[in-house]
Each structure stands twice: as C-alpha cells, then as structure tokens.
Amino acid sequence: MSAPKIGEMRLRMTLEAPVDTPDDSGGMMRVYVTLGDIWVKLIPLSADARFVEQRQELAIQWIAQARWRGDVTSEMRLVDGQRRLRVISAYDPDGRRRFLLCHCEEIA
C-alpha cells in the first residue's frame, strides 16, 4: 500500500477515546471523549454479513490512512456523523512516523 498524498486525505473524522466510569450498581459505564479531528483517506477492504443476537449485521473492514499520531490505540474509534469505526489496530507502515494506518471495523 503506497503512502497517500496529503490531498487524498479529505474526510475529516473525530478521534475518540474510551473512558470507563463506575455506575451505581457496581458496574462500569463506557463513554467516549473527543481527542480531536483528523483528516483521513478511507480504503474499503471487505464486508461480511453475520448474525449477532438473532439479527443480521454487516461488518465492513476499512483502512484509514492519516498523518502520524503516536497516541492512537486499538480501544479508540473514528466518528463521522452517524458512522462509527472501531480501531482494531494502528501502525506506522514504514517506520518513519509520517503516516498512520488504522485497520477499522464498521458495524452497519
């Protein structure tokens, strides 16, 4: 996969990180806080239909190419309106800290 040109990253997405807070019943409640907006290029990889809890879901795999950020982890997500992409992995493709590739999954 070649390095993207800056002009190809034209989709602005919000990077969100999870924060777990205890609730009154002894469990945990997860909310997401905004870390900032990043420009990405989305490349579709695959789509898979599967049954989860007696209903069919469509899982779409994406590669999100962005400028380098060292703080992206696999617990974060990328958001664009109603679209939510869960980050599965984030890595530097050539080790030069220029670009970041995020393998993401969207459940539709």
Residue 88 domain-assigned? yes
Residue 87 domain-assigned? yes
Residue 61 domain-assigned? yes
Q: What is the pLDDT of residue 108?
A: 79
Residue 1 domain-assigned? no
* pLDDT tens readout for residues 35-44: 999 999 999 9
**Distance set, CA 58 to CA 42, 49, 104, 107 (Å):** 17, 5, 14, 6
Q: How many domains does the chain have?
A: 1
Domain ranges, residue 45 = 6-107
Which of 38, 40, 45, 56 has its CA nearest to residue 7? 40
CATH number, residue 76: 2.40.10.270
* pLDDT tens readout for residues 19-76: 999 988 889 999 999 999 999 999 999 999 888 778 888 899 999 999 999 999 999 9
